[in-house]
Amino acid sequence: MARIALVTGASSGLGREFVRRIDAGDAGPMDEIWVVARRAERLEALVRTCKTPVRPFCLDLTDTVSFDIIEAALAEEDADVALLVNSAGCGTFGPFALQENADNARMLSLLMRAPVELIYRALPFMHAGSRIINVSSVAAFMPQPGLSVYAAAKRFVLDLSRSLDMELGEVGIHATAVCPKFMHTEFLDAPGDADTMRAMASLTGFERPEAVATKALAAARAGRQLCIPSGDMKAFYLASKVLPYRVAIGVEQLLLHAQKPDAIPIV
C-alpha cells in the first residue's frame, strides 16, 4: 500500500510549491506524489524535478469525469492517502454585473465542487493521521465587493474545512484551511477589472507561494484548523471578527479607492 500525497492545481503557483515542499519532506515520508492539473507539459516538467516518484493526472476538475478517474486510480492502487491538498483555483475581479457568467460558473465548480468531490472520493483511502489542506483566502473573512463570488466561494471552503475537521477529528483525520493573501502567481492573470485587482494587491501586499506552502504543511501536521501565513492578515482576521461588516467593508473600500490612482503594476 503506497503512502501518497494528492495535490491539485499542481502545475503552477501555490500548488507547485506544495509539491516541492512535500518532495522535500515537509509532509513526512511519501512513497508517491499524485499531481493533478490541466497542462500536461508542466506536469511532466514537475515530475523531472522531484526525487519522490510523481504520478501525473492531466485532468480538468470542472469535468466530473475527472473525479471518477482519480477514485478509480486510488482503488486500483489501494492507496493510503496521507495528504490531500485542494489547491486548484481561479478567480474573477470587478463588479458582479460586469463579469461573464461562464467565468463565475467555472470558478464555483473549481473552488467549491472540486474540493467536495475529491475529499469524498479520497476519504475511504484515508486513516488516522491523514491530513486535508484546502486553499481558502483572506477574502473569506468578510464579504468583498469586487470579489463577490470569489470571496463567497472561499468562505465556503473555510467553513467546509472547519466543520470537516470537527467531524473527522474523531477518527484522527484533520482538515486545515490556509488563507493566503495575494501571491505572485498566474492568479493575477484572472479575467475582470484590472484596476480593482491592482488596488487590492497594493492594499494587502504579497507573500511568497513557497512560504505559504511551508506554513500550511506545518499547520496541517500540527492538526490546526486555520493557517493564516501573513502576520498582517492575522490582524485583519481579528478585526473582521470584532467589527460589524458594514464598518469593516467601509474602511476597506475607502482604502481601496485611495489605492486605485497609484496602484502598483502587476508583474
Q: Using 50, 70 and 90 to split pLDDT, how confident is the model at 261?
A: very low
Judged by average pLDDT, the poorest of 55-59, 150-154, 208-212, 243-247 is 243-247
Count: domains in the chain:
1
- Tell me whether residue 165 is in a domain: yes
What are the pLDDT digits (tens) for 10-62?
999 999 999 999 999 999 999 999 999 999 999 999 999 999 999 999 999 99
- Tell me whether residue 241 is in a domain: yes
Does residue 263 surpass a pLDDT of 50? no
- Tell me whether residue 267 is in a domain: no
What are the pLDDT digits (tens) for 156-197?
999 999 999 999 999 999 999 999 998 876 665 555 555 666
Place of cell 515530475: 47
The boundaries of the domain holding residue 46 are 3-262
Q: Using 50, 70 and 90 to split pLDDT, how confident is the model at 235?
A: confident
- Tell me whether residue 47 is in a domain: yes
Q: Which residues of 188-202 are buried (b: 16+ CB within 10 A; e: fewer)?
A: bebebbebbbbbbbb
Task: Give the pLDDT confidence score for residue 236 in this predicted structure.
Answer: 79
Do residues 155 and 197 touch, judged by C-beta distance below 8 A?
no
Q: Which helix (H) or strand (E) holds 132?
A: strand 131-135
Task: Give the pLDDT confidence score for residue 140 in this predicted structure.
Answer: 94
User: In CATH, what number is assigned to the domain containing residue 187?
Assistant: 3.40.50.720
Tell me the C-alpha to C-alpha distance, in Å, between residue 208 and each of 13, 104, 114, 232: 10, 26, 25, 14
Does residue 214 surpass a pLDDT of 70? yes
The span from the CA of 140 to the CA of 155, in Å, is 4
Output 30 or 267, whichever has higher pLDDT.
Answer: 30
Q: In what order do the strands lie in the sheet with 80-86?
A: 54-58, 32-37, 3-8, 80-86, 131-135, 174-178, 226-227
- Tell me whether residue 85 is in a domain: yes
